[in-house]
Structure 1
């Protein structure tokens, strides 16, 4: 694991596990005697504990030893001689009971090296004053690893000072020797008999015959020299008939022999979670529980509130927002309790962490790749929860620290985020493909509305009333060609034909509403009346005529096209039932446009529009062709031909046609017929002129005898279909 990964695991993962677990029950074999401000006030002593007479510490030792504690350890450095009488009184009290451990001090020094840009750094132990150093069972320093945030580790051994055990490790070993020294000698006799000859034969001779830290170094070198000795030591402890307490202590000691120099603290909780007795109460021990200190490790040191300006308080994962931090003596007590109970936090090795993170990453990545999106989300979420539960369990019950931050807070969310992003992109791509596919059948805005279900309700209800132009088209000779061409060839021809027409509709902001065989229905509609719909529809109609004419010139098969346009109200929406619907325009506007398109056959034209289409329009060339009562309709409408601008001869045709038509409107049929015949001679291919010639020749005798069937100037299309022949 990289330094950055370890940082995240320490600052976030480890903190999370502590928060999930919560505070622990205070260790039963540890008691703190705190040197606090309250004690200085009650005992009328200076606020600075360093100025307290050492006779008070001598009296404390005497009174505590009345309850037979296992050890009394002072996390205080008596580095200077004060009052000689008080120093002697303290030394006498210490020597009398032979269970006192003092702190010494590690001082850093630096020497210049050959490379002037670097310095050689080393540490030297500053012991207590000689009279106290000789009286103590042992002395040891208590440095803490440097940290920028909370206190997480403590030194068990200080390699830079000669691999000496630190204050917590020394206290633990002395406690172990007090409890199980004969058992240790017996086990070492089985493993390394030669080593036993160099060790004291009784625990009471430890400080006199051999310093504790030197003896420990000998044992450590003799036991940890090979893996077989360590394994044999553990097996012998397990097979022995020792008490459970002694087995626990020996297993913890064996673990310490193999542990790294710095260990992770297993915090019990916030300030004063570990049993804490103020100095002034411990000085009058008679009023306390008689078993409070019996067989316990008593740690004496400054509490964090004695001199806050000196920064005695330390942050831990349980520190609260009110600034109630933990004191150094409580850190020392936590470390000692961890060693006694073999409960310090044990992280996996770097290789194990890397392997676990790799396997976890492969697992969740495989889940994402092999399962559906919902399945992957479920499996990854469930697996992450299970992993966190397992990590919490082994942390709480076995003090094993599994990586949490990287697998649960980085890898899993990252894969979930990638899965969500991939699902989003895939869904977006699917929607794009669906939208692209539906564009061949429905307008874009309809696809968007249906896909997003913005319309609400059922499919029957989807639709809205619109104002716009409906264009109906029809291809001549389609039926004839269908008889002589194969379906495949006909399909190719019609696809090419519509490939010319459709782009003109969409380019002019129209939509293709329906296609049946050779007929197309196109729409230009808005919720409110908009003249731009008329303009776009007329421009599209002219462009379609031009493109189809060009198409026909390039084909062997001709598809002359007729167009009819009408403007009005329509309902645009779903039409259908059960599980089949089509998006279409419904209303009289659609029917009328279809009838107008059919009128092209009668008039010999290509583009016909109703008066409602050209109303208010400018810039288009039109010719009024007459007022017609279309088949099946009740009210007549005026029809115009929409044409491309022509030359002067074309304008002459339009002008003379208008004059002839006005004669027809005034029921001057003979004059109108003569006028149309004259035009027909000059313009024999003009369809409307030929229509009126045939119409008047056929109907004029009837009109002269009975009058027109309806009001003057209106042609009833339903009664004149025979004129097409």
Structure 2
């Protein structure tokens, strides 16, 4: 039950935290979507879209300044030029609200002559009466009429939640001359945040279509599906209100009308990515390549000016590019409609995030520890790569900020915390096991590894000259992570009995058992007897563990053994209300370090030279001199290979070649050493010491050490 619970916990906690952070800081849009745009980079823009920019150069050339009402007298000639050069549709991102009797009739005639002019309708948004007011361009202060009346005293404050939207139509002369009109109101008009979405329909304004949607339907000649010959804007509103009963719509049109009221914009690049021509150049007839183009006319400064209104941040905006003009955003939405290239979310965000968290949890629980973290990192990298690829290819937006920045690190922390918890519980079980099992092995000294009996030398210390044997299980953390605590308990219960019997049978003492390591000592006996007994115990332990691994249904416990002799202090250490027996001294530490050298040499049993040099009935071979971690003095090591069988046993050929190679290596004769180690491996490809020294000799052949004394320095345990 522990594994399913952990998988669910990691998945749910990661998803909840990611969701809460996104709700508080909008991380997925502000960071995730913007990052995807930046990685993807600019895209090719459609040729059909052209922006006629009422820019700084035109303001100067026409002498109109920034007052939009003064531009109206020039629009008639602009329309004549656009119509003459074959523009397919002309869309004004301007709101002709205030009447100008001196120029409006001329402009209206030009609109009728062109027959393809769409104009913008002003949308005003009020919050708390007139205290907060938002509107674009000519939705100016003179139109800020209270949308509602306060009741009671004049000082009465309206509710913060009270929001009103209304639409102001163009002046009748202009409205009747235009082909049609619709509003264009940006979602984030009142915020200094990037524009990511744009309305397709304004349900708060009687389900009116937005101006880019209206323009797209006119460009597609969708009016053929309008049998009543009413304005297309009114027809679209009617279709949206009854979209479930609209058999005349094709699939794409029905999806646009009926599915939601906004879409995520697929920006083509920074401001001025779409084709943009200066108003003055078009007005003077300098721009002729306009056949079949959809023209958007509006204010769009060519040089970034932070003080200008009607300019908005986008995912590509920065201090160099500046903000994007409202007319560019309108043209971008039309271009997305034209190419059917809006940013889409292929599945609910909660579902994608949950699946991401679930797969991460499965990897971390199934491969606990660092393997799980590495695999989860590989999966997260593949996910992020897929998100970038799908965003560029299909315009699909997969969540990246929450999964990669929140769910993944949190999952790692939870996984490591549980691994630590399992390790502590397992150590507790092992200590409990040791206290039950080891009394049968030791008579006078400890009743269990680490504890003294009353019959022993409780409360005293004893300095001895002895021999220490240290063991360790290779890859123990990985093995423990793959099994439940109960399974590890049963495995180690049998393992330590197998490991302990050779020690006791050769008059050794189990001094300590900690997790996957055991420490045994020999003392108060002739030195030659201690050495031989310890080596025999080590060989029997290796053979017993090999048999144990063959019979075990769980993972094999590859055991490394190290032996060293020297001065020891045996005694009890008080910890709380109990006393623990320990062997203390540098000899213990060196034995543990020697045990670790097996990892480099691929051997099972290593001993310091003095222990194994004079044992006639045991096969040994020298494996070199090493400076281990934490030690200044080097230690010369021997491999304990096995027992000799018969007095005429022939020397091992591999050992002889290796010995010659080791001598050449220690003398700094690198080419000769390489040749001999290669010869040894040709005889036995699994000889670990030959492989280790071959790599060293090859390295030193290319980069000889500055001062060579034949000592191999190991920089880790």
Q: How does 1:451-490 map to 2 (within 5 A)?
A: none
State whether residues 368 and 415 of structure 2, in contact with CA within 8 Å, keep that contact through their aligned partners in structure 1: no
Structure 2: how far apart are the matches of 1:254 and 1:322? 40
- Counterpart pick for 2:213 among 160, 166, 169: 169
Provide closer, same or farther for how the CA distance between residues 307 and 48 of structure 1 changes in structure 2, counting only shifts above 3 A: farther
Question: CA offsets per residue over residues 548-573 of structure 1, 9 Å max, x none?
Answer: xxxxxxxxxxxxxxxxxxxxx99997
- Which residue is 2:80 aligned to? 62
- Which residue is 1:199 aligned to? 228
Provide closer, same or farther for how the CA distance between residues 111 and 394 of structure 1 changes in structure 2, counting only shifts above 3 A: farther
Structure 1: how far apart are the matches of 2:399 and 2:250? 31
- Which residue is 1:594 aligned to? none
- Which residue is 2:649 aligned to? none
SS of 1:123 mapped into structure 2: strand
| Larger fraction in helix | 1
Structure 2: how far apart are the matches of 1:80 and 1:322? 36
State whether residues 207 and 241 of structure 2, in contact with CA within 8 Å, keep that contact through their aligned partners in structure 1: no
Deviation at 1:421, TM superposition (A): 4.8
- Counterpart pick for 2:204 among 147, 150, 160: 160
- Which residue is 2:443 aligned to? 492
State whether residues 202 and 261 of structure 2, in contact with CA within 8 Å, keep that contact through their aligned partners in structure 1: yes
Q: How does 1:115-264 map to 2 (within 5 A)?
A: 118=159, 121-146=163-188, 147-177=191-221, 180-182=222-224, 185=225, 198-200=227-229, 210-225=230-245, 229=247, 233-234=250-251, 251=252, 253-264=253-264
Question: CA offsets per residue over residues 59-87 of structure 1, 9 Å max, x none?
Answer: 111001112111111111121123x2322
Deviation at 1:88, TM superposition (A): 1.4
- Which residue is 2:46 aligned to? 27
Provide closer, same or farther for how the CA distance between residues 307 and 539 of structure 1 changes in structure 2, counting only shifts above 3 A: closer
Question: CA offsets per residue over residues 164-199 of structure 1, 9 Å max, x none?
Answer: 01222222222222xx544xx3xxxxxxxxxx6x42
- Which residue is 2:115 aligned to? 98
Deviation at 1:332, TM superposition (A): 0.9
Structure 2: how far apart are the matches of 1:411 and 1:105? 44
Deviation at 1:215, TM superposition (A): 1.3
Question: CA offsets per residue over residues 319-352 of structure 1, 9 Å max, x none?
Answer: 1233622111111111111122221112246xx3
Provide closer, same or farther for how the CA distance between residues 362 and 517 of structure 1 changes in structure 2, counting only shifts above 3 A: closer
Asked if 1:296 is matched to 2:293, the reply is: yes
Structure 2: how far apart are the matches of 1:312 and 1:348? 32
State whether residues 36 and 306 of structure 1, in contact with CA within 8 Å, keep that contact through their aligned partners in structure 2: no
State whether residues 297 and 327 of structure 2, in contact with CA within 8 Å, keep that contact through their aligned partners in structure 1: yes
| Long gaps (5+) in structure 1 | 186-195, 201-209, 235-250, 441-486, 523-536, 542-568, 586-725
SS of 2:239 mapped into structure 1: helix
State whether residues 239 and 257 of structure 2, in contact with CA within 8 Å, keep that contact through their aligned partners in structure 1: no
Q: How does 1:666-685 map to 2 (within 5 A)?
A: none
- Which residue is 1:267 aligned to? 267
Asked if 1:379 is matched to 2:375, the reply is: yes
Structure 2: how far apart are the matches of 1:22 and 1:279? 28
Structure 2: how far apart are the matches of 1:264 and 1:111? 36
- Which residue is 1:611 aligned to? none
Q: How does 1:314-333 map to 2 (within 5 A)?
A: 314-322=312-320, 324-333=322-331
Deviation at 1:93, TM superposition (A): 0.3
Deviation at 1:32, TM superposition (A): 0.4
More deviation in 311-320 or 392-401? Answer: 392-401
- Which residue is 2:351 aligned to? 355
SS of 2:52 mapped into structure 1: strand
Structure 1: how far apart are the matches of 2:381 and 2:259? 31
Structure 2: how far apart are the matches of 1:511 and 1:169? 93
Structure 1: how far apart are the matches of 2:318 and 2:90? 30
- Which residue is 2:343 aligned to? 345
Question: CA offsets per residue over residues 674-696 of structure 1, 9 Å max, x none?
Answer: xxxxxxxxxxxxxxxxxxxxxxx
Provide closer, same or farther for how the CA distance between residues 145 and 98 of structure 1 changes in structure 2, counting only shifts above 3 A: same
Structure 2: how far apart are the matches of 1:52 and 1:491? 106
Question: CA offsets per residue over residues 112-143 of structure 1, 9 Å max, x none?
Answer: 58998647543221111111111111112211
Asked if 1:405 is matched to 2:401, the reply is: yes
SS of 1:299 mapped into structure 2: strand
Deviation at 1:40, TM superposition (A): 1.5
Deviation at 1:406, TM superposition (A): 2.1
Deviation at 1:111, TM superposition (A): 4.5
State whether residues 243 and 258 of structure 2, in contact with CA within 8 Å, keep that contact through their aligned partners in structure 1: no
State whether residues 101 and 171 of structure 1, in contact with CA within 8 Å, keep that contact through their aligned partners in structure 2: yes
Structure 2: how far apart are the matches of 1:49 and 1:489? 102
Q: CA RMSD in A?
A: 4.2
Q: How does 1:511-530 map to 2 (within 5 A)?
A: none
Structure 2: how far apart are the matches of 1:88 and 1:365? 70
State whether residues 91 and 132 of structure 1, in contact with CA within 8 Å, keep that contact through their aligned partners in structure 2: yes
Q: How does 1:382-393 map to 2 (within 5 A)?
A: 382-393=378-389
Name the count of aligned residue pairs. 445
Provide closer, same or farther for how the CA distance between residues 493 and 79 of structure 1 changes in structure 2, counting only shifts above 3 A: same
Structure 1: how far apart are the matches of 2:205 and 2:28? 29
Provide closer, same or farther for how the CA distance between residues 46 and 116 of structure 1 changes in structure 2, counting only shifts above 3 A: closer
Deviation at 1:397, TM superposition (A): 2.4
Deviation at 1:410, TM superposition (A): 2.0
Deviation at 1:20, TM superposition (A): 1.9
Structure 2: how far apart are the matches of 1:75 and 1:281? 19
- Which residue is 1:526 aligned to? none
Provide closer, same or farther for how the CA distance between residues 58 and 521 of structure 1 changes in structure 2, counting only shifts above 3 A: farther
More deviation in 294-303 or 121-130? Answer: 121-130
- Counterpart pick for 2:362 among 359, 366, 377: 366
Structure 1: how far apart are the matches of 2:56 and 2:464? 88
- Which residue is 2:95 aligned to? 77
SS of 1:52 mapped into structure 2: helix
State whether residues 192 and 312 of structure 2, in contact with CA within 8 Å, keep that contact through their aligned partners in structure 1: no
Deviation at 1:409, TM superposition (A): 2.6
Provide closer, same or farther for how the CA distance between residues 308 and 373 of structure 1 changes in structure 2, counting only shifts above 3 A: closer
- Which residue is 1:86 aligned to? 103
State whether residues 110 and 121 of structure 1, in contact with CA within 8 Å, keep that contact through their aligned partners in structure 2: no
Structure 2: how far apart are the matches of 1:20 and 1:488? 67
Structure 2: how far apart are the matches of 1:21 and 1:220? 34
User: Is the radius of gyration larger for structure 1 or structure 2?
Assistant: 1
